[in-house]
Each structure stands twice: as structure tokens, then as C-alpha cells.
Structure 1
Amino acid sequence: MTATEPNRGVGTNGAPAAAVATDLTKVYGTGETQVTALDGVSVGFRRGEYTAIMGPSGSGKSTLMHCMAGLDSISGGSVRLGDVELSSLSDKQLTLLRREKVGFVFQSFNLLPTLTALENITLPMDIAGVKPDQAWLDHVIETVDLRNRLKHRPSELSGGQQQRVACARAMASKPEIIFADEPTGNLDSRSGAEVLGFLRTSVRESGQTIVMVTHDPNAASYADRVLFLADGKIVDEMLSPTSDLVLERMKRFEAARTV
């Protein structure tokens, strides 16, 4: 399967697609100020797979993630999460879908400073009035290795620990897919490796589906595949990436853009 064959929706592990975009376009502005951020993108993200999205600044990688996650409207084409077409949903239905089916991890952690680590992890479920699956919650907490830090507030945690809390929060409700936007962008290399290792483990041991936007070749090397965007289009795909191979590919793209 290639990046431009979303409707086949089956990877080498036999898993169907958790999310699919078909001829997806996103346009900002009108007239002379109009910018096409996504230009006819078709792609599927398979269940139980870790995908990294890379590209130069302005290539559309964050826009693609936001459209796929239902955080931003689309200008044309379609986006499906599972069997649900996002454009068919009302704002209320879309909010409910994101709450039940999607997890988010952002560069800035987005933790509430007055809550403990555990309270931050369970906050989305508390807001929704949903009781956590205690066995699953315990599994997630053990996976992020924060059992002894659950009563600590964000200011009492390192950056890496805060991001692991954010990852645990994203996983706690058993979402079908997690979108991570530069999750290691504010972390040192050691803390970043901890978070990336946790995301890799969640795919391998829990069958989680993860789509991660990153500019870091080392971060991308944790993924099963890497999609490369340029000028709002998917221009290449790499399976079983290594940091050296990703860096080499990115250098080639940059060289081609400057010619």
C-alpha cells in the first residue's frame, strides 16, 4: 500500500485504517491572500501502527493532522475516522467523537497546574462523566512509569514526566487513534527519548494507533513509517525508518526546494 491508496486501508499487519483522507484540501483566505495548505491529499493511517509526518515548515503537516483529528474544517475531499465521515457530523457530534475516539498530545503538555498528575490523566473522562476502566488505567500508569508521581502537580514534575502525563491522559480513555503534534519539541534529548519510547511501547503492546508530526529525524525513527509532505502534498513514504535515512531524505527535499 502506498500513501496515495487510502481506500485499500490495509497494512502489512492486516489491520484496517483507523483514519482515511481522500482528496483532502484545505484552503486559508481568499483572493490574493489565499493559501492552499493541503492539495488533494489521500492517505490512510492503519490501526496498530505508528506513523510520523515530516516536511519543511509550511508543508502542511500540522494542518493535515488537525484536519484528520477533526480540530479544523476541510475545504474539500473527505476525512473518515473509522467508518464515520467527519463532514456529516454536527459540532456537538464532532466534539463527542473526539472525546470518545481520539487522543491528543501537544508540544506544550497542556496540563492544568492545580491538578495532580492523576487528576490530569483522568480529567477528560471526569468531564465526560465516564468512569475509568481501572485495569486499563493501571496499565497506562505503569507503562508511563509514573506510579510514584501521581500525587504531584505539574510544577513538581520534570518536562519529560509532564509529557508522559499528557501521553497517559491521551491513552486513558482507550482512543482509537492518538494524534501527537511535536510531542518532544519542548524536551531535552533524554526526556524526549522517554516519551518516544512510551509511544512506541503503546503501539507494540497495546495496539495503539499513533500519528505524530515531527521535524526531528530521531523522533521519526521510532515510527513504523514516515510520510513526507511538501507544498501541501505527500511526496514520499518510508517504511522501517532510521534517523540517518530520514535525515538524508529531508536533506534531499531541502536541496530540491532551493534549486
Structure 2
Amino acid sequence: MDTTVADPVRQEPTAVTTTIPGTSGRGTAHAPAAAASATELTKVYGEGETKVVALDHVSVQFMQGEFTAIMGPSGSGKSTLMHCMAGLDTVSGGSSRIGETELTGLKDKKLTQLRRDKVGFVFQAFNLLPTLNALENITLPMDIAGRKPDQQWLQRVVDTVGLSGRLKHRPSQLSGGQQQRVAVARALAARPEIIFADEPTGNLDSRSGAEVLGFLRNSVRELGQTVVMVTHDAGAAAYADRVVFLADGRIVDELRDPNAEHILDLMKRFDAKGRVS
């Protein structure tokens, strides 16, 4: 299945203008805070001869109201970085924060609560419950938490991802692209501080992938959301405001206001084993 996504035509100026949560109207974020950050983050698997350093003292910030893509060769640590910063995996050393909350050392109950209340997730597998319709899948995390959705915000999210006419349909009645839109809406509905997306277009054809990336782009531009996306696709990464490049478990470069051509030029610097040439 073709998962290559076309490089988007950028209409916005270089300065990213977003609606910042908690403010009215549109405004430019001149000095946004970090929605998530890592300092000297390390992740090691195994020991001795089987020791693998997946993350090697990584320090990075993902700013509020910004769309960041994480790229790098296979095995470079992309997904490991996302999982550690989202609280889905433990770290071997260093610091990882969501907003001002340090994840290292949080007990399971507090970590689960933080992920539920402050973090949204979109994965390559849509992870929808087949017995629930689209709306029920969107509100499921809030239902489990015993929270009522903000109906005005929920309607805005549904409109942003273009699902108004499909809310009563179950996953089996939706296309792959529509199912991923439901997953994006579910991540947005609780108004998290940050959304982590791991290869969100990996199971989609190019047209559906472009639609989903457009919705993620719009969630940043129109809703003031913060999105961090792991991807191997230069066309997908071109939807972001910033691309961070990993190799050998380290951040080796970054690119602002990217396009697919510039991304591919940088990717050529990495050899098949992920080393910088």
C-alpha cells in the first residue's frame, strides 16, 4: 500500500500563528512554554554484550502550539524517544517532563492519570473499539475518567476533522482514513497539553494520509494544539513546523519550516545504520 504523502502547499507565513489555549481569538505565540521536554534523557536495553543504547543523553523541547516531526533511520530511537517522553516507557537516566510535571519517579497511578488528562495519543493502529460508534470512541477516555466532554469544544473538534456526518457509524462502516480521523478526534477531545502521534499514516493510502496530516496541521493552526509526530516519510514531516533528526540515539540536526526536498537532502546524510556521514 502506498503510504507516501505529498508535500503540502504552505499558505501560512514563516511565523506560526496559532490560537493559544486559554486565550481568545488568534495570536502569535512569541515565547511559548514547553509542552514537553527532555534533559540528558537516556534509555538502555540489556547489559554487557547485549547492551543497546536507544537514547544517548537526548535534550529537546516541544513547544506549545507547534507541530514537530521526529525523523531518523530505522533504529535511531524515534519511537523510543516519543514513548519515554509520553510516559509510555521508563527511562534509564535523565529527566522527562510534561509541562512542569516530572515523569521520572511518578507512581503508576499518577502516571496513568497524567497520560489520561494531559496527553493524547494517535498510533498507526487506530485502536478503536468495534462495538462503539465514532462518537462513543471519541469520548471513551473521558467516559472512563468520569468526565463530561465540553460540548462546544467537542463539536469544534468533530468539525475540524470532518466527522460530523459519520458520528453514528461504527469502525467497520468507516474507511481507514475515517477511522484515523476518529482516533485524532479522540486525542483532541480531552484538550490535552500535547498529542504524540506514532506513524499515524502508516496504515493509510496517500490520499487518506494527507487528509489525516491536514487535520493534525489544522489542530495546531486552528485549535492551538501541540503535536509531536514520529514518521519515516518526508512528505508527512513537511506538514510540521519543525523536524528533529535522530541518529544513533542522539539528536543530530533540526529543520524549521521544512519541505520534503530539504528533509530528503538531510536524510541522505545518514547511512543505512543510522550514522551521520
- Whichever residue aligns with residue 96 of structure 1, its letter is Q
- Whichever residue aligns with residue 229 of structure 1, its letter is L
Query: Is the counterpart of residue 24 in structure 1 residue 44 in structure 2?
Result: no
| Structure 2 residue corresponding to 1:224, chosen from 238, 241, 248 | 241
- Whichever residue aligns with residue 126 of structure 2, its letter is F
Checking the alignment, whether the CA contact within 8 Å between 2:177 and 2:208 is kept in structure 1 is yes
Match of 2:73 in 1: 56
Within 5 Å, give how 1:189-204 maps onto structure 2.
189-204=206-221
- Whichever residue aligns with residue 43 of structure 1, its letter is V
Q: 1:154 to 1:52 in 2, by over 3 A?
A: same
Distance 1:168 1:13 in 2: 27
Distance 2:71 2:276 in 1: 18
Query: Is the counterpart of residue 81 in structure 1 residue 92 in structure 2?
Result: no
Distance 1:38 1:60 in 2: 6
Match of 2:7 in 1: none
- Whichever residue aligns with residue 151 of structure 2, its letter is Q
- Bigger relative CO (Cα 8 Å, ≥ 6 apart): 2
Query: Is the counterpart of residue 38 in structure 1 residue 55 in structure 2?
Result: yes
Match of 1:112 in 2: 129
Within 5 Å, give how 1:167-246 maps onto structure 2.
167-246=184-263
Query: Is the counterpart of residue 250 in structure 1 residue 267 in structure 2?
Result: yes
Checking the alignment, whether the CA contact within 8 Å between 2:247 and 2:275 is kept in structure 1 is no
Q: 1:195 to 1:21 in 2, by over 3 A?
A: same
For residues 10-57 of structure 1, the C-alpha deviation after alignment (integer angstroms, 9 at most, x for no partner) is x97310101110000000112211100000000000000000000000
| Structure 2 residue corresponding to 1:142, chosen from 131, 136, 159 | 159
Match of 1:155 in 2: 172
The alpha carbon displacement at 1:253 in A equals 1.7
- Normalised to the residue count of structure 1, the TM-score between the two structures is 0.94
| Structure 1 residue corresponding to 2:142, chosen from 125, 128, 137 | 125
In structure 2, the residue corresponding to 1:99 is in which secondary structure?
Answer: helix
Distance 1:27 1:169 in 2: 32
In structure 2, the residue corresponding to 1:87 is in which secondary structure?
Answer: coil
Match of 1:6 in 2: none
- Normalised to the residue count of structure 2, the TM-score between the two structures is 0.88
Distance 1:213 1:125 in 2: 25
Distance 2:196 2:102 in 1: 18
Query: Is the counterpart of residue 92 in structure 1 residue 109 in structure 2?
Result: yes
Q: 1:220 to 1:258 in 2, by over 3 A?
A: closer
Distance 2:142 2:239 in 1: 29
- Whichever residue aligns with residue 238 of structure 2, its letter is S
In structure 2, the residue corresponding to 1:88 is in which secondary structure?
Answer: coil
Structure 1: gaps of 5 or more residues: 1-10
For residues 136-192 of structure 1, the C-alpha deviation after alignment (integer angstroms, 9 at most, x for no partner) is 000000011111110111111011000000000000000000000000000011000
Aligned length: 249
Distance 1:26 1:40 in 2: 8
For residues 194-215 of structure 1, the C-alpha deviation after alignment (integer angstroms, 9 at most, x for no partner) is 0000000000111100000000
Distance 1:222 1:177 in 2: 17
Runs ≥4 residues deviating over 6 A: none
Q: Percent identity?
A: 73
Match of 1:47 in 2: 64
Q: 1:51 to 1:258 in 2, by over 3 A?
A: closer
Structure 2: gaps of 5 or more residues: 1-27
Distance 2:168 2:97 in 1: 38
